[in-house]
Structure 1
Amino acid sequence: MKILFVHQNYPAQFLHLAPALAARGHDCRVLTDASNTRAAAIPVWRYAYSAPEVDAAACRLGRNYTTMSDRGVAVARAARILRERDGYVPDVIVGHSGWGETLFLKDVWPEAKLLVYAEFYYRGRGADVGFDREFGPPSLDKVMIAQGRAAHLAQALLHADRGLSPTFWQASTHPPALRSMIDVVFDGVNTETVVPNAAARLTLPDGRVLRAGDEVLTFVNRNLEPYRGYHTFLRALPGVLAARPAAQVLIVGGNAVSYGPAPKDGRAWKDIFLDEVKDQMDLSRVHFLGRVPYADFLSILQVSRVHAYLTYPFVLSWSMLEAMSAGCHLIASRVAPVQEVVRDGYNGQLVDFFDVPGWTRALTEGLAEPARFARLRANARKTVRDRYDLNAVCLPKLVALVEGLGLKSG
């Protein structure tokens, strides 16, 4: 079959799926943004896109749709060239609905089957918006803006043949009429690569070497921001470091914003919350590592004695399941997307997102008594191997889903 992957930041969620389908003999191609320089294992086409100028004051609710649909137009025009110039017609298109890229592809290739990655459906209430009251209650304007962000997501699914979500909770954020279109299959964790390693070691920028078994607390996210509980974690640290004078803290993440609003004063969230607590703790034991190569990321998980993961009710991070696969003692926030995977006292511990004393207590106990939580670490890895393993569980389901659509197109 001819299978086209469409993603502005490819490979992203299709890192393993596209090569696996190509290895099965399918003609797999990529259509991605011209600015995307990431390496790809399959042939790549590129489209040019520049975000339109949008008057926010004149187009409050529509500006998001304007941006997303305009990208969809750019992708559709590139697709039309592929059809008219090269005679290219895919049997299956696999794309992410989040940036509007798939909106008009069925108008170019009506005979193709379209599978959209339906990662999250924005809501005005009941998920991330208004969850953290520290930043104010959800005003009617915020609710309407959040609802407006779902317009292109609904359109993308309505014009698709099937949807794909990585977790049942993320699928459940979609309205019932759209939920019925969505299959749930996680992207997969390579449990043969992400493994516990008693010989693991990590050299810090200051030359200090940490080894598996050391008293290490880890916190990992793409960016350090409230959506991923950075503020709660930092507020818990002074008590943890006071109670555990040998503990070292590794914090991975950039200074940008992935989700939610940026700080109004122009500073980074990292500095705002660090300034709040820095005089209360020994900063020589808190190591901000920024963004790290994947090999270093694995070493960080493998030397970790306790791994903290917090999130709003939002998209579940790959890093949480990777930490479990690496055999970390996971302490995570008690929210629905986490509870789909983590059972308190079985394969991790759950703490209320906002309970700073509770976080301090749980993190301290985890660092102080690693043997007490050995069973949780083993069960965490077993959970990922049984339910989320890339090669044994997830990839076969994803391949079958795409190939099944292709058979229907024939």
Structure 2
Amino acid sequence: MKVLFVHQNFPGQFLHLAPALAARGHDVRALTAETNRRPSPVPVLKYRWSGEPAAQGLGARYAQSAERGWRAARAAQQMRTEQGYVPDVVFGHPGWGETLFLREVWPEARHLVYAEWMYQGAGLDSGFDPEFARPALAGRVSTVARAAHLVQAMIGADAALSPTRFQADTFPAELRSKITLCHDGIDTARVHPDPAARYTLPDGSRTFRAGDEVLTYVSRSLEPYRGIHTFLRALPEVLAARPGAHVLIVGQEGQSYGPAPATGSWKDRFLAELDGRLDLSRVHFTGRVNYADFISILQLGRVHAYLTYPFVLSWSLLEAMAAGAMVVASDTGPLREVIEDGVTGRLVDFFDIPGWSRALIAALADPAAHAPLRAAARARVVADYDLNTVCLPRLIDFVESGPPR
């Protein structure tokens, strides 16, 4: 078959699926934004995109998404008219609008979308954290307005794929029948426990090894959506109770999902709040790290903290479990799907700072007692989320099954 992936930051969620389909003999290509500099495992065509168009008010998100969809559609038309390219399957991420008009170019293709998230006015991430919530009605209306292009994309698709049940259930009941559940997959042969794991700080001042008393935290960006405020506020008590413990915090200082702070970074804001209460000689901010170092950090940590609003589940959580980490996680919807409290990790109320301190202290103090949870966490990921034995075969079948529309 001819399979076209569409993603403004390709390969994105298709990192493993695209080359796997190519290896099976399919003609696999990708359509992505000209600003995307990530290496691609398959041939790509880039559509022109120099930035978001000017738009204001409640319709701004749809206007921006529609403009990007128009740019992608023009590039698709060029592929058809100049190259005679007509895919059997178009599989895109609808989050930025790229898939909105592709059926107008290729009506004969089977159109699939990656159903990552549907915005809702209440009950999910919007308004979850009262410390940073917008005024009730304005916040709900603004959030609902962001869903228009996603609803259109889902209605126009032949089928959709969602990585978790929690994320699939964010979509309206009328659309869920289109959704197949399958995670992107974790390479558990690569991500595994390693008693020889080690990591040296960027400035070379210290090397940590498996067995050291290390608490780890990972997020793409250090922001409230991933609970950096709760985590940092829990640390003074943790460090006081465990004088030999060190903390490794991985992530950049910008924001990926929620709003930016009024000034500076969220990290700076919360460190200023905790001024004088944190022993910063034992709290190490690594910034972004390469993948090998990221895995080493997960492998060597005695405890791994993961927090999130009711929002998309990070790959890093499942990678931590696959690495055999002792995970202490927020008791929010995404985590309840993958962690059983007291069996594969610990769940703590997102806002319970003393509870977080107690849970982290207990796990740091007695690693032997928590060894069964580590083993059970890895076993869960191997059984249900392994890339090569579980997820990739299902993903391949999702693309290959069914005739073109």
Q: Alignment partner for residue 379 of structure 2, among 378, 382, 387?
A: 382
Deviation for aligned residue 1:35: 1.0
Q: 1:21 is matched with which residue?
A: 21
Q: 2:88 is matched with which residue?
A: 91
Match of 1:288, SS? strand
Q: 1:139 is matched with which residue?
A: 136
Amino acid at match of 2:39: A
Amino acid at match of 1:253: G
Match of 1:302, SS? helix
Amino acid at match of 1:2: K
Q: 2:228 is matched with which residue?
A: 230
Q: TM-score, normalised by structure 1?
A: 0.97
> For the residues of structure 2 that align with 1:234 and 1:179, how far apart are their CA atoms?
38
Q: 2:191 is matched with which residue?
A: 194
Q: Does 2:176 correspond to 1:179?
A: yes
Amino acid at match of 2:373: L
Deviation for aligned residue 1:141: 1.1
- Given that 1:17 and 1:395 are in contact with CA atoms closer than 8 Å, whether structure 2 keeps it comes out as yes
Describe the superposition over 1:244-301 as per-residue Cα deviations: whole angstroms up to 9, x where unpaired.
Answer: 011010000101111111112x210011011111311210000000011001101100
Deviation for aligned residue 1:223: 0.1
Q: 2:391 is matched with which residue?
A: 394
- Given that 1:346 and 1:379 are in contact with CA atoms closer than 8 Å, whether structure 2 keeps it comes out as yes
- Given that 2:53 and 2:67 are in contact with CA atoms closer than 8 Å, whether structure 1 keeps it comes out as no
> For the residues of structure 2 that align with 1:98 and 1:231, how far apart are their CA atoms?
27
Q: What is the aligned-residue RMSD (CA, Å)?
A: 1.0
Match of 2:368, SS? helix
Q: Give unmatched runs, 5+ long, in structure 1.
A: none
> For the residues of structure 2 that align with 1:55 and 1:5, how far apart are their CA atoms?
28
Match of 2:370, SS? helix
Match of 2:45, SS? strand
Q: 1:210 is matched with which residue?
A: 208
Q: Number of matched residues?
A: 404
Match of 1:250, SS? strand
> For the residues of structure 1 that align with 2:90 and 2:55, how far apart are their CA atoms?
33
> For the residues of structure 1 that align with 2:53 and 2:307, how far apart are their CA atoms?
35
Q: Does 2:393 correspond to 1:409?
A: no
Amino acid at match of 1:208: R
- 1:6-405 aligned at under 5 Å gives the runs 6-56=6-56, 60-136=57-133, 138-204=135-201, 205-264=203-262, 266-405=263-402
- Given that 1:252 and 1:290 are in contact with CA atoms closer than 8 Å, whether structure 2 keeps it comes out as yes
Match of 1:278, SS? coil
> For the residues of structure 2 that align with 1:259 and 1:197, how far apart are their CA atoms?
32
- Given that 1:129 and 1:138 are in contact with CA atoms closer than 8 Å, whether structure 2 keeps it comes out as no
Q: Give unmatched runs, 5+ long, in structure 2.
A: none
Q: TM-score, normalised by structure 2?
A: 0.98
Deviation for aligned residue 1:52: 4.6
> For the residues of structure 1 that align with 2:196 and 2:135, how far apart are their CA atoms?
48
> For the residues of structure 2 that align with 1:136 and 1:75, how far apart are their CA atoms?
34
> For the residues of structure 2 that align with 1:278 and 1:120, how far apart are their CA atoms?
37
| C-alpha distance 316-52 of structure 1, shift in aligned 2 (>3 A) | closer
> For the residues of structure 2 that align with 1:70 and 1:372, how far apart are their CA atoms?
55
| C-alpha distance 137-39 of structure 1, shift in aligned 2 (>3 A) | closer
Match of 2:3, SS? strand
> For the residues of structure 2 that align with 1:11 and 1:294, how far apart are their CA atoms?
16
- Given that 2:6 and 2:98 are in contact with CA atoms closer than 8 Å, whether structure 1 keeps it comes out as yes
